[in-house]
Every structure is written in C-alpha cells, then in structure tokens.
C-alpha cells in the first residue's frame, strides 16, 4: 500500500483508521462529507492532520469518488449511514448512501485499476444468530433496512470480484466501541447518562447480546486484512468471540464508574420483536488464521478508556435526547 483513500474518514471508526494509517507512514487521502462549513468531522482537530490530505465530497456522487481515488492503490470504504432506528424512518436514504455509494467505490476502483479495495460491512447483516459463534458462512438476514442495504452493498462488492476480478475484501466488524462513538450507540448512551448524574438509566431492550471490540483493535484488524493478499474475494469478521447482554454491559459500566444505577426500559428505544437482533457472537477464526491480528484490549480496559474520553468531551453529547 503506497497511497490510501479512506471514505468516511471523519467518522468514528474512519477517523481512528485514518490516524493509524498516517502514523504507520502511509500517504493518506481522507474523504469526508462535503458541508458548507468545511468541517472535517473527528479529523477537525486531529494531531495527524499535517500528514493527511483531506478531500470533501459525497460518496453518493460518482464524480467526486472517482476523482478522489485517482492516484491511489488502496481504498478503505467506510462511508455509510449506520443508525438502525433511522433506517425505519428513511429506508431510501440508506439505499442511496450504502448501496449506490459502494457501487461508486467499486466501479471507480475498476476504472482506475486499484489493487486493494476494502469494503466495510457489519455484523447486523447476520441478523439474530442461528448458531454461535457466527462465522462468515452464516446466512445473511436483513432485519432492518440498514442491514438489508449493507447486505446488498456487500454482494455488489463481491460481484465485482467474481465478475471482473476486482481485488475486493469485505471486512465485517462486530460491535465496535470507543472514543468518538455516536450517542446513538449503547455505550455512550449509558456513560453520558451516568455522567449527567442520572441514576435511572433509560435503555431499550436489555436482553440482546453483543460482541464488543475496542476501536483501536478494530482498525488494527482493518490494516491486517488490507495487507493480506489471501483475503481478496473473502468476507472476514472482526470480533472478540465474547458476548455480553446490554443489561450486563450497563451494570459493568456503572461498576467501572463507581455508580449504582437502575435500568428503565424506554419504549421509544425498543426495537420491534422482528427487527431486534437478539444475539451476536463473532467467530474470528479466519482473521486469526490469515493475519497476525491480536486484540490488545479487554472489555474492561476498553470501557475505562472510553469513559475517560467521554468525560472529557461530555459537552459534545446530549444525554437527555434519544437520537434515532
């Protein structure tokens, strides 16, 4: 990898990946969403900015994607709409961003003859686990418009590998957490409510389980997969092979913050019975066999880092609001 483009570079995982690639000495183009204020998301005040070329555009716009990819040999495609509840409100927005955006990336890569194309998927494409741990052969089940859009995007990317020999790799992270994560996610939701001195924590369903990976470990997995030629045409999971329920997670966070809480189920936050993914646990055998990836964080150590960061950035969150 000589020159890398990262779409969604101003987002949660994207900003961490951008900084990691810059720290490793790669030439990096950061593709961020165009806006009137020329704001670069989480890269705005990044100490790595001097090492990064920032490009504003829209992943839904083929021309801006194509032009941004010129001169690159590798692209990490992370730009996406990711909020599950909002996909019930506006499914078409997810089709345009997640499906058309992925088409724009892989078609541009084909035209420009890029040698390393990494498309970011999600464990939500598996739906509720039909068996655990979930390996890459698990059936795809779209339990939300978001999940369906990501399944379609994955299949478009893989079809370019089969049809045109484009060296596409699909990275499928399970639930990533850490600094800069949106308030839509459960961990910032719990932490910000506790930091706002609430003792009754409002959550949705607390029985579903998730497999949580600290963001620094996730982006290290991205780099390991990118550097491994044997992952071309493959889907590769990133996860810990450990599951924890949302309720247990909330109590763990409270314990780490030395607080006592009561959990209140908020009907506005509850997903419907047919759409809730009840269980996720990652089989990361393929990742371990094909790469040298090893996670450096336990859930406790990752949560402590996350708690400290959110405490220092609490004004950037609105703990009283439920953000779909």
Residues 137 and 195 in one domain: no
- pLDDT per residue over 261-315, tens digit each? 999 999 888 888 899 999 999 999 999 999 999 999 999 999 999 999 999 999 9
- Interior angle at CA 142, CA 136 and CA 146, nearest 5: 105
Q: How confident is the model at residue 8 (pLDDT cuts 50, 70, 90)?
A: very high
Query: Is residue 111 in some structural domain?
Result: yes
Average pLDDT rounded to a whole number, residues 61-87: 97
Which pLDDT score is estimated for 82?
95
Q: Structure pTM?
A: 0.97
Query: Is residue 90 in some structural domain?
Result: yes
Least confident piece of the model among 125-129, 183-187, 229-233: 183-187
Which pLDDT score is estimated for 271?
86
Q: How many domains does the chain have?
A: 2
Question: And the tokens for 208?
Answer: 């579903």
Indicate if the pLDDT at residue 106 is higher than 90: yes
In angstroms, the CA 162 to CA 58 distance is 27
In angstroms, the CA 159 to CA 170 distance is 11
Query: Is residue 321 in some structural domain?
Result: no
Residues 286 and 272 in one domain: yes
Indicate if the pLDDT at residue 1 is higher than 90: no
Which pLDDT score is estimated for 160?
98
Q: The CATH number of the domain where 145 resides is what?
A: 3.40.50.720
Query: Is residue 324 in some structural domain?
Result: no
In angstroms, the CA 259 to CA 239 distance is 28
Indicate if the pLDDT at residue 41 is higher than 90: yes
Task: Name all contacts of 287-293 with Cβ < 8 Å and 24+ positions apart.
Answer: 287/221, 287/224, 287/225, 287/236, 287/237, 287/238, 290/225, 290/228, 290/230, 290/231, 290/236, 291/221, 291/224, 291/225, 291/227, 291/228, 291/231, 292/224, 293/220, 293/221, 293/224, 293/238
Average pLDDT rounded to a whole number, residues 195-202: 94
Residues 142 and 253 in one domain: no
Indicate if the pLDDT at residue 319 is higher than 90: no
Residues 55 and 75 in one domain: yes
Average pLDDT rounded to a whole number, residues 205-209: 96
Nearest Cα neighbor of 94 from 153, 34, 156 is 153
Which pLDDT score is estimated for 5?
98
Residues 191 and 75 in one domain: no
Residues 44 and 114 in one domain: yes
Query: Is residue 77 in some structural domain?
Result: yes
Residues 312 and 260 in one domain: yes
Residues 257 and 294 in one domain: yes
Cβ neighbors of 303 (< 8 A, separation 6 or more) are 177, 187, 252, 253, 256
Query: Is residue 227 in some structural domain?
Result: yes
Per the structure, the complete domain to which residue 141 belongs is given by 3-176+212-238
Which pLDDT score is estimated for 184?
87
Average pLDDT rounded to a whole number, residues 194-214: 96
3-state secondary structure of 238: strand
Average pLDDT rounded to a whole number, residues 114-134: 98
Indicate if the pLDDT at residue 321 is higher than 90: no
Query: Is residue 308 in some structural domain?
Result: yes
Indicate if the pLDDT at residue 254 is higher than 80: yes
Nearest Cα neighbor of 7 from 95, 79, 100 is 79
b/e per residue 231-259 (b: at least 16 CB within 10 A): bbbbbbbbbbbbbbebbebbbebbebbee
Residues 34 and 121 in one domain: yes
* Contact assessment for residue 103 and residue 32, using Cβ atoms and an 8 Å cutoff: no
């Amino acid at each position: 990898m000589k020159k890398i483009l990262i779409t969604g570079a101003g987002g949660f995982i994207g900003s961490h990946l951008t900084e990691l690639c810059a720290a490793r000495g790669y030439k990096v183009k950061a593709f961020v969403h165009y806006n009137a204020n020329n704001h670069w998301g989480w890269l705005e005040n990044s100490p790595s900015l001097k090492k990064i070329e920032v490009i504003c555009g829209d992943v839904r716009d083929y021309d801006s994607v194509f032009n941004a990819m010129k001169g690159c040999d590798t692209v990490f495609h992370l730009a996406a709409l990711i909020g599950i509840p909002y996909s019930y409100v506006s499914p078409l927005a997810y089709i345009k961003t997640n499906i058309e955006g992925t088409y724009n990336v892989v078609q541009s890569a084909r035209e420009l003859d890029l040698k390393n194309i990494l498309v970011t998927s999600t464990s939500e494409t598996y739906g509720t686990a039909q068996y655990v741990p979930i390996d890459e052969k698990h059936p795809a089940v779209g339990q939300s418009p978001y999940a369906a859009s990501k399944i379609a995007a994955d299949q478009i990317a893989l079809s370019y590998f089969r049809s045109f020999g484009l060296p596409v790799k699909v990275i499928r992270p399970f639930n990533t957490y850490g600094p800069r994560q949106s308030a839509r996610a459960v961990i910032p939701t719990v932490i910000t409510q506790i930091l706002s001195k609430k003792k009754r924590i409002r959550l949705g369903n607390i029985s579903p389980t998730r497999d949580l990976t600290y963001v620094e470990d996730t982006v290290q997995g991205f780099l390991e997969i990118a550097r491994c030629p044997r992952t071309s045409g493959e889907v590769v999971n990133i996860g810990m092979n450990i599951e924890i329920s949302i309720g247990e997670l909330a109590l763990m966070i409270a314990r780490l913050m030395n607080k006592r809480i009561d959990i209140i189920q908020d009907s506005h936050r509850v997903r419907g019975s047919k759409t809730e993914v009840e269980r996720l646990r990652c089989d990361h055998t393929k990742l371990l066999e094909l790469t040298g990836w090893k996670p450096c964080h336990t859930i406790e150590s990752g949560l402590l880092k996350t708690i400290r960061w959110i405490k220092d950035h609490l004004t950037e969150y609105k703990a009283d609001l439920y953000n779909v």
